[in-house]
A and B are shown apart, each in its own frame.
Chain A
């Protein structure tokens, strides 16, 4: 494991903690949002908050694709799956997400033909094998999974396959960040930018955050030292009065993203006027739908979908958690009525959800490393 050590070196972590602490201005507090659920996971898993001074708070953002799917869309998908001529196919992560009438797993248990797939290409194969049924792919995810759906649609079109369609729920990260920036609830000082999404979209789409909102953005990798270094870069920018987009994860993320992937998305999908996000409400131009040109592959055009808006369960405070207004454990049902085994809210479903990460690594009792504890004292 010599490779991994360079990302996990405890001495380096303590050195970064000291450098971060040294940049804290006395009396000032800092709030950074990590947008991506993968980062949330690393932060909890490695107890990274213990390396930060009290003045720095990490706020967990909406970057968990399963977590932001509203109940109404789950119900719509369930409605499609219930048709006898349809085989519904879905990623495993989606199977436990509760709709108002239960989850895909519940429906499957009572006989609905819902099949778990690893890739949309597996759905395509099921379509080839079942020419007399319509195979619908439940497409979810940010820009990390949208290219796969797009490439699969292009492949289906090239093959002339007529029984494959997509129930498109792809969302885009930038409008969600903008909604959070415009939200009066929250004052943020900077963003730890998502790693894998940026592989596709690159770093340029974040420039408006630095330019118009004057907040620094650092696109970060998933290792503990990546995240500490990104926080250090954010603090350096703030202390110098700069707001720029920096790429800490340049070993994987190209500045311009993946052009082939962006082209494939642009060819097959277009922005919806608006889309509902669980907990965040309707956000304009925040999701993708299938383009007219590929209407024959659009499950929403092929079948009637109820499209009814379903309110979240009253007890559930995923919205506040997704906006970073509440910490997971401050939710009324956290760890009691809502657990990873029996989730009420989506944040508890995915391991990248803030609640599940917190539940699994429960870090209620914090003790800061000495370097972080000394912050603000000179």
Chain B
């Protein structure tokens, strides 16, 4: 056995899983793609992501609390939908909770640094090419560069690549129409623009999707759009066409979907690798951290008490499915209220 746990992916889910594993005394090896997130791209302009204040408490458990401060490019007090302002909440003393717009590369880098500092190993740049199976159980991975790494468990935190579920041909259950989300950054927005009238992000619904505007300091705004109409209209939102669009527009398939199951002997799927709900849920990073931590705890239980492995896996599968259902139903309700018909 080369290592206790191989973790595919160095995003929030993978790092969270790695940290829980090493905190539990297991060896963890992160397979990080050739993605340049963790080095020079650090300083380039890229779309930021908005994270909920609840993320902080999870990061503190992971001893990675400073990741938010390291990556923050702005704060917000709530979400404005039409004329409705929905604050995130406030502390007992009445101070508003603040959400952060984060520079995702810096955030991931800080989280990865915390994982490495706590003893996780990393193989980078490296790509997983296949899973090693024995008696229908996952017992390790093969990599693009020809390595074979055996392990007690694989945690699939490969994000939108969804490596494990595809490789094992798990079924996918769908809860929405096919959805495309695309995101970009616009600059040179004047300070008197409506976006800067308060510290709220804007959510603008339309019958086939929505637009999300996350203003940052320095006249910059990350925007994200979602549509059930396919990719033909991948353009910046009308509100911002007068200004400069910066960098590439990135698009992704955001159809709400979950693999069934999300684990089997030798492998556990977490984060986007297990289930995707579109970014309006606003919980991509929260979900990644929570499910990465839970997956890792489940692996720790399976390894320390192998006689009860199917029972632990059943509990993870039950929990993850219920958690996904919760997000789907809440988003459906929210969309129904706003007249967004994507399911």
Q: Are A and B physically bound partners?
A: no
Question: Which A residues have a C-beta under 8 Å from some C-beta of B?
Answer: none
Question: Which B residues have a C-beta under 8 Å from some C-beta of A?
Answer: none
